[in-house]
A and B are shown apart, each in its own frame.
Chain A
Amino acid sequence: MTLVQMPVPDAATLAHRDEIIAGLGRILPKSRMVVDERGLKPWESDALTAYAQLPLVVVLPETTEEVSRILAFCHAHDVKVVPRGAGTSLSGGALPLADGVLMSMMRFNRILDIDFANRAVVAQPGVTNLGLTRAVEHRGFYYAPDPSSQLACSIGGNVAENSGGVHSLKYGLTTNNVLGLEMVLMTGEVVRLGGKHLDSDGYDLLALMTGSEGLLAVITEVTVRILKAPETARAVLVAFSSSDNAADAVADIIAAGIIPGGMEMMDHPAINAAEDFVHVGYPRDAEALLIVELDGPPVEVDDLIARVEAIVKARGAVDCRISTSDAERLAFWAGRKAAFPAVGRISPDYLCMDGTIPRKAISEVLRRMRELSADYGLRVANVFHAGDGNLHPLILYDANKPGELERAEAFGADILRLCVAVGGVLTGEHGVGVEKRDLMGTMFNEVDLAHQMRVKCAFDAKQLLNPGKMFPELHRCAELGRMRVHAGQLRFPDLPRF
C-alpha cells in the first residue's frame, strides 16, 4: 500500500471471524456469502486498483429485510461494513477492510416501477445507470446523469458518489435528479426519504445522502426523475492550436448565454491516444479539441450551432466540423468516450484525477500541469468537462518501476492542491474515498471537518459504516460532541442591543 494508510484492523474482529460468519449465515444462505480466500480475491479492489485488501467476508443480500438484519447484527457486534455497488469507484470508496464485511448490493437489480405520468422510475440500487435509460427509452425518455461508466456502474453507487456525466452541464448531477431513497441505517432501522414528489419538508437528508460515499446508510431503493429526450442533438468538433484559445472559447460560449448539452475538452496527448484507438479522424496536430453538443428543437440547435461556430472562429479555431447525422455526432464522441481505455493502451498504468476549477483558470492550470509533468518526469493527458471546469488529468506511470506510483500520487496531489489554490475543489465527481482522504485539510479546516463528521455521528454513532474513507482522522463521536464554549472569553456583553 502506498501513501494513504487504512486504520489498523481490529484484532478482536479478526479473531472472531468464524463466529461472525456463522452469525451472518443465520441471515443469508451460504450461496450468497463468500468466505474462502480464492473467492474473496475478485472483491479486493474497486477501480482504484492501486489499493487492494481482502475483506473479512462478502455478503450478497437481496432484500431490505436482509440488509437490515445484517446491519443490526454487525452493529450489535461492532463489526464494520463496506457497501459496494458495481465497484467502479475511482477513489477507493468501495475498498474492503480486513476487519469489515463487504456488502455487495448488485443482487438488488430490479426496476420496481416505471411511472411515466409522474416522470419517475423506482429502482433497486444495483440497477445500472444505463439500465434506467434502457427501461424508459422506448417512450422517448432517459435518465440524464451519464457517467462514462454508465454501462457498469450502479444507481446506488451513483447516489453514493453524486456522479455526473457529460450532460450534467445542462441537466445536473445525480443530486439534482434523485427524488427519493429507501435506506437502512447501521442500526438496521429502515428510513424512507422523498418519493415521487419534489422537495423535502424537514431536513434535506436526501442532499446529505447523495455523495455520502457509503458512510451514512446503505441505500436499498432509489427514485429518480426521468426526462423526455430532446428532439435533436448535434455536435461541433473544434480544433485549436493553443489550449488558451480553447479555454477562452469555452468562457465565451457560456458568456453568450448558451448552456450546451455537453462541452468537453481534450489536450494534445489525449487527442492522439484517442485517435490511435478509435480512428475517427481527430486532428492530430491540434493542441486542444473541443466537443460542444447542442440539443433541443431543430431550429434552436441550428441557431446555436451558428452562434457557437462564430464564437470559436473568433477565438482562432483551426478546424470546425459540424455533425450532419447522428452517426457523425457519435463519431465525434467516440474518441472522448474511449479516452480512458485509449490512454490505458499507451501506458501500463494511469491515475485519473478529478479536480474542479473555475473556468477562467483552465489555461493557467493546464500550463502549471505541464511544468509539474516535466518536474516529475511523468506524462499527463487531459480530458475534461470544460463547461463546468471539471478536470480529469490522467497521470501515466508504470507500477513495475520502483517509486513511480508514489511519484504519480505526489504529482496528483500537487494538481489537486493547485485546483484548490485557484478557487476549485479536490473532487468534482469521483469522490474522496481513500485516494483524496488525506488532502481534505487543503480545503477544509478542523472545524469544517468536525461539522461534517457530526453528520456522520447523527447517522452512524459507532462509525462502523465504511470507516477510513473521506476523513483523514477518525474522531470518536463522544469527543466530537463535547462543547468548547467558555463564557469567560465572550465579547458579547459589549454588543449593541436593540
Chain B
Amino acid sequence: MDALRPMTEADLVDIIAAAVADRVPLAPTGQGTKAGIGRPVQHPRLELGGLGGVTLYEPEELVVSVRAGTPVDDVVALLAAKNQELAFEPPRWRTPDGRASRGTIGGLVAANLSGPRRFKAGAVRDHILGVKGVSGRAEAFKAGGRVVKNVTGYDLARGLAGSWGTLAVLTEVTFKVLPKAETEMTLAVAGLGFARAVEALAGVLHLSVDVSSAAHLPAAGAEGSFAEEARTLLRLEGFAASVQARAEVVARHLSGFGPVERLEAEASGQIWADIRDLGAGLAVGEALWRVSIPPAAAAAFADRLAGLEPRRMAFDWSGGLVWLRLDGALPDLGADVIRAAIAATGGGHATLISGPAEARGRIAVFEPQPPPLAALSRRLKDQFDPAGILNPGRMWAGV
C-alpha cells in the first residue's frame, strides 16, 4: 500500500477504520525526521502533513492550538513574532537522509524530546494542555482543555506524549506558551575533566540563581562541531538586571574551577541551539544513544563506559542527559554496557536515537521494562489499539 494522506479528521477516521477492517498496520508520520528512531517497521506511511494549521493563538492567554501536521518551525516563528515561545525548546533534527528539519508538532509530541531548558522548564509533555486524536479504534476523541489548571479526568493529553504514534494519531495539540526571556547569558569554563565538571555544575544548583541550562561538552574529536577543549556551560535567562546579578554569583562560583568566559545573548543562544540539536546529523556507521540518569551520577556513569571508547559524549541537564556516539560496528551498539552502567549508578533509561536498521531490529531501542510494567504497557496499547494497527513493533516487539 502507498502512503495515505488524510486532509481532514474524518478522512483519518476512515483510513484507520479501513486499516482495522483489513488488519493493515500504519506508520503515522509527520515529516519523517524521526523515522530512524525505534525498531525498524515497514508499515505504509500515514502522512499527516495535510492536517496542518494553527487553530487558536491567544498570546495574552499564553495558549496556542495547532494541528498535528504543522511544522514546528512555523509555530516557533508565529510565537516569536509575539515574543513568546515553547519553553521546552523543541529540537530541530534533520531527516535521516539529511534534509532540513521540517518536523511537525505531532512528531514532537509523539517523541516527547525536549531541549536544554527542559532541565528547568519541563519537557514537551509538561506544556501540553489538551489534545485531539484518533485512536486505533477509529474513534476521534479529545482530552484535556486549553487552560493550565485542569484535573478533569485522567491526564490523557500528557499521557499520550512519548507514545510514538502507537496509541493514537494526534490531530491537534494545545500548548501552554511562555514569554521569551528578555535576555540570556552563558558562563563557561574550559578544560575540565568529568568529575570536576559535574562538581562545577552541581554546586551551582545549590545557589539561588535559577540556572536554566547546564551542560558539559568534553573535548571533541577532530571532526566535532565543538571546540577542541572541553567546555562546561551554565545559562542564565530573564530580565537583564537579574541576569547580570546572577551572573556575578555564578562567575564567583566558577572561578574556583578556571577562568570564566561570558557568552552574551547571541552567542549564548547559538551554543544552546547546537546542544539542543545534538540528536541530529550523525555520521554513517555510528550509533547515537540518549541516556537519562540522575544528574549527580554522570561521572560514575561515564567511568563505566570506558570499554566502549565513545567517539563523542555530551552532558546536558546538568549531567542528567547524556548523548553518546559510538562505533556502529559494535555488536550490540553498546546496549548492554550502557544499560548495566545505568543500573549500577542510580537508574534511568537509554534510548537508541540512531543506528543501523538491522541492529535496531535486534536490540532493545527503548529501555527494557520489568514484566509487570511491560504487561501494563501492553494492556494500555490493547485498549487504545486492539487491532494493533498503529505503529506495531515500533517501541517494543509485538506491541
Contacts from A to B (Cβ < 8 Å) = 115-120, 139-140, 161-162, 164, 168, 172-173, 175-176, 185, 189-193, 195-205, 207-208, 210-212, 216, 228-231, 251, 254-255, 257-259, 296-300, 303-304, 356-360, 385, 388-390, 423-432, 436, 440, 443-444, 447-452, 454-459, 461, 470, 480-481, 483-487, 489-493, 495-498
Contact = CB atoms under 8 A, between A and B. Distances in A.
Contacts of A456: 154
B2 interface: yes
A492 B4 CA distance: 10
B5 A388 contact: no
A118 B376 contact: no
Given A118-B296, A191-B376, A452-B156, A388 B149 contact: yes
B206 interface: yes
B242 A200 contact: no
Contacts of A357: 147
A498 B49 CA distance: 13
Given A204-B158, A208-B159, A447-B140, A119 B205 contact: yes
B382 interface: yes
Interface stretch (B17-25, B215-223, B261-269): B17-25
B184 interface: no
A306 B105 CA distance: 38
A451 B155 CA distance: 11
A393 to B, nearest CB: 15
B259 interface: no
B180 to A, nearest CB: 8
Contacts of B140: 447
B174 to A, nearest CB: 11
Contact of A299 (B47, B241, B375, B395): B241
A428 B147 contact: yes
B162 A199 contact: yes
A208 B47 contact: no
Contact of B15 (A200, A258, A495): A495
Contact of B346 (A172, A195, A297): A195
B387 A483 contact: yes
Given A259-B178, A485-B137, A495-B15, A425 B296 contact: no
B179 A257 contact: yes
B149 A389 contact: yes
A3 to B, nearest CB: 18
Contacts of B141: 447-448, 450-451
B292 to A, nearest CB: 4
Given A204-B158, A255-B59, A231 B148 contact: no
Given A204-B159, A300-B241, A303-B241, A161 B383 contact: no
A162 B150 CA distance: 9
A195 B58 contact: no
Contacts of B11: 491, 495
B118 A198 contact: yes
B159 A203 contact: yes
B147 A172 contact: no
A455 B376 CA distance: 10
A120 B297 CA distance: 13
B74 interface: no
B14 interface: yes
27 contacts: A117-B202, A176-B126, A185-B372, A189-B372, A189-B375, A193-B373, A195-B294, A204-B112, A205-B377, A208-B156, A211-B154, A211-B155, A228-B207, A360-B61, A390-B149, A428-B149, A443-B153, A444-B152, A452-B156, A458-B376, A485-B17, A485-B138, A491-B10, A491-B14, A492-B14, A492-B15, A492-B18
Given A255-B59, A390-B149, 4 more contacts: A173-B149, A202-B366, A204-B163, A304-B239
For the complex of A and B, list the 8 residue pairs with the smallest distance between their C-beta atoms, beginning with the closest. A300-B242, A257-B179, A428-B149, A117-B296, A207-B158, A487-B21, A196-B294, A492-B18
Contacts of B245: 297-300
Given A172-B126, A388-B147, A440 B321 contact: no
Interface string B151-186: 111111011111100010000000000111010000
A356 B149 contact: yes
A483 B17 CA distance: 10
Interface in B32-74: 47, 58-63
A469 to B, nearest CB: 11
B367 interface: yes
B242 A175 contact: no
B252 interface: no
Contacts of B369: 202
Contacts of A168: 149
A207 B159 contact: yes
A347 B10 CA distance: 52
B171 to A, nearest CB: 14
Given A119-B205, A190-B372, A498-B3, A199 B153 contact: no
Contacts of B293: 197
Interface in B348-380: 348-351, 366-367, 369-370, 372-373, 375-377, 379-380
A423 B384 contact: no
B151 A161 contact: yes
B208 A197 contact: no
Contacts of B154: 208, 211-212, 216, 452, 455-456
Given A202-B366, A208-B154, A443-B145, A360 B60 contact: yes
B182 A257 contact: yes
